[in-house]
Amino acid sequence: MIVKNIKPMNLEIIDIEKLDQMEGKEISIKGAIHRLRILPNVTFCILRLERTLIQVVAEQQYDLSAFLEGDFVEVTGLVRASKLNDKAILNKNYEISLTKINLIHRPKEVPPFEINKKELNIKPDLEFDMRQISLRHPKKRAIFKISETIANSFASFLETNNFTRIFSPKIVFAGAEGGANIFKIQYFDRVAYLAQSPQFYKQYGVGIFGKVYDIGPVFRAEKHNTTRHVNEYISLDFEMGFISSFEDIMALETAYLKFMIEQLKEKNNFELELLEITLPEITDSIPSIKLKEAHEIFFKIQKIDYRNEPDLSPDEEKFLTQWSKKEYNSEFLFVTHFPTNKRPFYTMDDPSNPGETLSFDLLFRGLEITTGGQRIHDYDMQYNKLISFGMNPEDFESFLTLHKYGVPPHGGLAIGLERLTARICNIENIKEASMYPRDINRITP
Amino acid sequence: MIVKNIKPMNLEIIDIEKLDQMEGKEISIKGAIHRLRILPNVTFCILRLERTLIQVVAEQQYDLSAFLEGDFVEVTGLVRASKLNDKAILNKNYEISLTKINLIHRPKEVPPFEINKKELNIKPDLEFDMRQISLRHPKKRAIFKISETIANSFASFLETNNFTRIFSPKIVFAGAEGGANIFKIQYFDRVAYLAQSPQFYKQYGVGIFGKVYDIGPVFRAEKHNTTRHVNEYISLDFEMGFISSFEDIMALETAYLKFMIEQLKEKNNFELELLEITLPEITDSIPSIKLKEAHEIFFKIQKIDYRNEPDLSPDEEKFLTQWSKKEYNSEFLFVTHFPTNKRPFYTMDDPSNPGETLSFDLLFRGLEITTGGQRIHDYDMQYNKLISFGMNPEDFESFLTLHKYGVPPHGGLAIGLERLTARICNIENIKEASMYPRDINRITP
């Protein structure tokens, strides 16, 4: 009998940012041939690595005419100084002088568009139809290295603050957000739903762990196909108990955003330069105004009257962050106290003004990226609010179980990862910040 | 107009493990009254905090008779030395001598079971029906602090190894794993499916980022209701390019498991003691045998003949890790080379024996916790395998796009978080390692 021993493997990783420490040394790297330019005396071969491009130079004695763009190869060569100005290349001060090249695998066909141009510049339909290939473009994939840091810094910030990670179920018996925008599932012999949010489970989590966070997909069956919506997105959610005010939630989000921006500076310098991103700054605080005041400001300056509207309009969202940038040097703006009838049934009303809720949105660069607030923790209050919303408390027996057996005062928020990523990257259409966007017309690839 | 400035908040966290540094000082903590024992001369009040219990002692002059178990309170008191032997209490060497107690919130009702006993000991149906409350039991929630570390260490291990995190969509146009166990969704005017695995998207990710990981829910419409299955679970997935053998995947998993065990020791000492967990050890390596050999061993020792079976039976899984523990001092065992017809269509066949695949399972304490292997990267090979499986390549056009335009040799694995957690905690039923298990009869809470 043959028993093999599988020993733990540590990956050998060549840190491309530290090529200076390897000058004159021979290294081997694997990647795809991104660009190949064969000149009479020299061949320039730009390799596409996991995150960056690197320049390989083959002198006359090396014949690369048998290679094609798209080939997966292993290149061996000497690290030497250079001076390159392609932002997609890292490290720009070094290149590889080729000594050997092996073909690992050749694709069957050449894609119907060029992923090696500075900009992809193809029609959105083609870009999304072939997303599994178009994301190989350096500028496209860079968006998701930004998105990764946003998500991972959410997790590490909350972990440091003693939050517990939960995994809320996505197959649910009822929607947390109400309304018709919920997907139905055939669940064996019955109907179930896809979770619109982890709301109930976060609130349960407060009773179990005190402070919880959840990073996962949520689903909204919204029929409108806009640049601000996708039907499946990643929600960065947290919920915390024993708050003294709903402003605690806003203050914690402010701290997270500061941390996230620092993490982007630390980890994503390459992508920030490639995508020419100017990060927002939070010097001291984020300004916060009530919805009513937001409407007033818009009316006063823009002369358009939304003062009786229960929510912000898209043009107000755009205007208001320009206003806060100008007046308070903040690209972020909290808007608070949305009316009771515009916020979900679990939202706490303001005791000093019951027509308004202890809730907030966070606007950033013209878009709402967060919804949050204090939740109802008292059983009678929650029961009565369901009634006043015309809902049947019996349908929410499972949810009310929480309030019946007790939960401390609590609140939380949800950040849309794609929305935040899009605004950080100054992308207009949030679908570009979703790896495989789902909308009313698209569920492929 | 009132503009508030929301300043970043840092949570004040009292590190209960470091009460020794606070001896004699007055601290305030918020929590639930877990146990209240009022004696003539003294009152013992065990508070349930976010992760642990703590003992609060109220001397005669403090009357706690108005308080009830379950109340959410703020306690102020002096830290003083003590000697406690309840494993759910941390820190056992200190208690709080009460100077003040405030009621924050009183629940409407008392739960129909006691969560303050050493063991919960209620019927599984009741436990799962009221999961949002029963998880407050110290031993129940401890399982999920273990689970959290398993998941987070997967992420941090892979991040350190330059893997990129992806978020694969859960609404999909086709199943990756084939078969009938897929849930249907009504997606506007058409039918879509819930992802059985992130397989396709991981493989796309190899072409984009080289090495990717994904932590998220997957869905299996399996009708059997066993202790080894749930219909929604968390899959820890990775996929890596430019592998030289499918054993690279196994070697990387071995390194992850070693790291994960170290992280549990570092972060979860409290839960390990409370749940009386003996962690597995990976001293040097994990033994690996072929499926055929696994059947032979079982036949030779147990005299039951599964030698013509294409998969391991549950009794073989149980037996084999006992065998490897005895023979190789390893509670983990890799089993490799499953037959072609038992593995999905994307699995690479062994070129030296095309009836077998370059695939593996990892068994741990009697249960398969991982499936992995090398995938097909060549277009013609994948196309022909679909045909030979009786599948229509046109249905997989989107997947074959990957192979058409090229992907390097690659492989990966999926670890079931609930299964791994259950086996680490020595829990027989994996539903206990799922916060809100979904099975054929249950989608609440």
Residues A183, A240: one domain? yes
Q: What DSSP letter does each residue of A11-78 carry, written as one string? A: P----GGGGGGGTT-EEEEEEEEEEEEE-SSEEEEEEE-SS-EEEEEEETTS--TT--TT-EEEEEEE
pLDDT at A310 over 80: yes
Q: Is the pLDDT of residue A215 over 90?
A: yes
Per-10-residue mean pLDDT, chain B, length 445: 92 88 96 97 97 97 97 98 95 96 98 97 96 98 98 98 98 82 95 96 98 98 91 98 98 98 98 98 96 98 97 97 98 98 96 96 98 98 97 95 98 98 97 97 95
Question: To probe the interface with B, which of A208, A213, A307 has the most B CB atoms within 10 Å?
Answer: A208
* Nearest chain A alpha carbon to B171: A443
Check residue A311 and give its pLDDT. Answer: 96
Residue B205's nearest CA partner among A213, A131, A430 is A131
Supply φ then ψ for residue A140, to 5 degrees.
-75, -45
A121 in contact with B at a CB cutoff of 8 Å?
no
Nearest CA in chain B to A137: B208
List chain B residues with CB under 8 Å of A285. 5-8
- Which of residues A81, A105, A129 is at a domain's end? A105
Residue B42 in contact with partner chain A when CB distance is under 8 A: no
**Gap from A300 CA to chain B (nearest CA, Å):** 12
Q: State yes or no: pLDDT of A176 exceeds 80.
A: no
Q: What is the mean pLDDT of residues A55-75?
A: 97
pLDDT (0 to 100) of residue A355 = 95
Q: Are B135 and A203 in contact (CB under 8 A)?
A: no
Which one of A251, A289, A440 has the shortest CB-CB distance to B1? A289
Which of B69, B208, B263 should one mutate to test binding to chain A, selecting the residue with the greatest count of A CBs within 10 A? B208
Amino acid B175: pLDDT = 75
A35 with A152, same domain: the answer is: no
Q: What is the pLDDT of residue B12?
A: 83
Is residue A426 located within the same domain as residue A377? yes
B277, B271 contact by CB (below 8 A): yes
Average pLDDT score over residue span A155-181: 91
CA distance A90 to chain B (A): 15
Least confident of A164-178, A186-200, A429-443, B81-95: A164-178
Chain B nearest CA to A280, separation (Å): 15
Q: What is the spatial distance between Cα A127 and Cα B80, in angstroms, rounded to a whole number?
A: 65
Identify whether residues A385 and A243 lie together within a single domain. Answer: yes
Same domain, A91 and A142: no
Phi-psi region of B351 (alpha: psi -120 to 50; beta: other; left: phi over 0): alpha
Contact B438 A254 (CB under 8 A): no
Are A203 and A279 within one domain? Answer: yes
- Give A-chain residues touching B136 at CB under 8 angstroms: 207-208
Residues A38 and A159 in one domain: no
In a domain, B294, yes or no: yes
What are the tens digits of pLDDT across the range B313-324?
999 999 999 999
Q: Quick check: is B45 in a domain? A: yes
CB atoms within 10 A of CB A223: 11
Contact B165 A151 (CB under 8 A): yes
**Measuring CA to CA, how many Å separate A357 from each of A201, A202, A376, B155?**
21, 19, 11, 37
Indicate whether A271 pLDDT > 90: yes
Show residues of chain B in contact with A138, CB under 8 Å.
none
Q: How far is CA B317 from the centre of its chain?
A: 20
Q: Which residues contact B306 (CB under 8 A, 6 or more apart)?
A: B295, B298, B299, B312, B313, B316
Rounded-to-integer distance, Cα B267 and Cα B339, Å? 40
Which one of B210, B217, B251 has the shortest CB-CB distance to A170?
B217
Boundaries of domain holding B266: 138-433
Flag whether B395 is in a domain.
yes
Substitution target from A5, A6, A333 for chain B, most B beta carbons within 10 A: A6
- Asked if A222 is an interface residue toward chain B (Cβ–Cβ < 8 A), one would say no
Residue A4 is predicted with a pLDDT of: 96
> B393 and chain A: CB distance < 8 Å anywhere?
no
Residue A202 falls inside a structural domain: yes
Signed CA dihedral, B375, B378, B383, B387: sign only: negative
Dmax (CA) for chain A in angstroms is 84
List pLDDT tens digits, range A388-436: 999 999 999 999 999 999 999 999 999 999 999 999 999 999 999 999 9
Domain boundary among B84, B105, B126: B105
State whether A168 and A309 are in the same domain: yes
Nearest CA in chain A to B131: A204
Q: What is the mean pLDDT of residues A223-234?
A: 93
Tell me which H or E stretch contains B370.
Answer: strand B367-375
B191 CB within 8 Å of a chain A CB: no
- Measure the CA–CA gap between A376 and A389, rounded to whole angstroms: 14
A·B CB contacts under 8 A: 357
Q: Residue B176: its pLDDT value, please? A: 75
Q: Is B44 on the interface with A (CB under 8 A)?
A: no
Residue B438: which of A164, A171, A250 has the nearest Cβ?
A: A171
Under an 8 A CB cutoff, do B221 and A188 touch? yes
Residues of A in contact with B296 (CB under 8 A): 1
A160 to chain B, any CB pair closer than 8 A? The answer is no
Taking CB atoms and an 8 Å cutoff, what residues of chain B touch A284? 5, 7
Does a structural domain hold residue B132? no
Q: What is the pTM of this model?
A: 0.98
How many domains would you assign to chain A? Answer: 2
Taking residue A275's Cβ as centre, other Cβ atoms within 10 Å add up to 20
- Asked if B290 reaches chain A (Cβ–Cβ under 8 Å), the answer is yes
Q: Assess whether A97 and A186 both reside in one domain.
A: no
Domain assignment present for residue A128? The answer is no
Q: What pLDDT is recorded for position A364? A: 98
CA distance A362 to chain B (A): 12
Output the domain CATH number for residue B66. 2.40.50.140
Q: Are B35 and B99 in a shared domain?
A: yes
Locate the chain A residue with the closest alpha carbon to B15: A162
Are A148 and B132 in contact (CB < 8 Å)?
no
pLDDT in tens, B183-209: 999 999 999 999 999 999 999 999 999
Dist. CA A320–CA B61, nearest whole Å: 57
On the question of pLDDT at A301 being above 90, the answer is yes
CATH of the domain at A351: 3.30.930.10
Closest-CA residue of B relative to A192 is B443
Q: State whether B185 and A184 contact (CB < 8 Å).
A: yes
> Which residues of B fall within a CB distance of 8 Å from A176?
none
Q: Is A359 on the interface with B (CB under 8 A)?
A: no
Q: In the predicted model, what is the mean pLDDT of chain A?
A: 96
Q: Do A168 and A99 reside in the same domain of the chain?
A: no
Q: Is residue B401 within 8 angstroms of chain A, CB to CB?
A: yes
User: H helices then E strands: how many in chain A?
Assistant: 11, 19
Residues of A in contact with B153 (CB under 8 A): none
Phi, psi (deg, nearest 5) at residue A245: -160, 155
**Other beta carbons less than 10 A from residue B109's beta carbon:** 12
pLDDT at A11: 87
Domain check: are A308 and A378 in the same one?
Answer: yes
- Report the half-sphere exposure of A79 (CA within 13 A, side-chain side): 22
At A13 the pLDDT is 86
Tell me: cis bond preceding B91? Omega within 30 of 0 counts: yes
Domain membership flag for residue A407: yes
Q: Would you tell me which residues 231-260 of chain B have a C-beta closer than 8 angstroms to some C-beta of chain A?
A: 231-232, 234, 241-242, 247-248, 250-252, 254-255, 258
Alpha-carbon gap: A59 to the closest alpha carbon of chain B (Å):
26
Long-range contacts, stretch A21-28, CB < 8 angstroms, 24+ apart = A22/A79, A22/A94, A23/A79, A23/A80, A23/A81, A23/A94, A24/A78, A24/A79, A24/A80, A25/A78, A25/A79, A26/A76, A26/A77, A26/A78, A26/A79, A26/A99, A27/A76, A27/A77, A27/A78, A27/A79, A27/A96, A28/A74, A28/A75, A28/A76
CA distance A75 to A95: 12
> Are residues B290 and B296 in contact, defined by beta-carbon separation less than 8 angstroms?
no
Residue A175 has what pLDDT? 75
- Identify the closest residue of chain A to B159 by CA–CA distance: A152
CA distance B395 to chain A (A): 12
Closest residue in A to B136 (Cα–Cα): A208
Cβ separation A219–B296 shorter than 8 A: no
The token duo for A442 is 């698209």
- Nearest chain B residue (CA) to A253: B8
Q: With an 8 Å Cβ cutoff, are B288 and A183 in contact?
A: no
Chain B touched by A400 (CB under 8 Å): no
CA distance A387 to chain B (A): 18
A-proximal residues of B, 319-348, CB under 8 Å: 328, 334
Does a structural domain hold residue B84?
A: yes
Mapped onto helix, strand or coil, the DSSP state of residue B384 is: helix
What is the identity of the amino acid at B404?
A: K
- CA A51/CA B218 separation, integer angstroms: 28
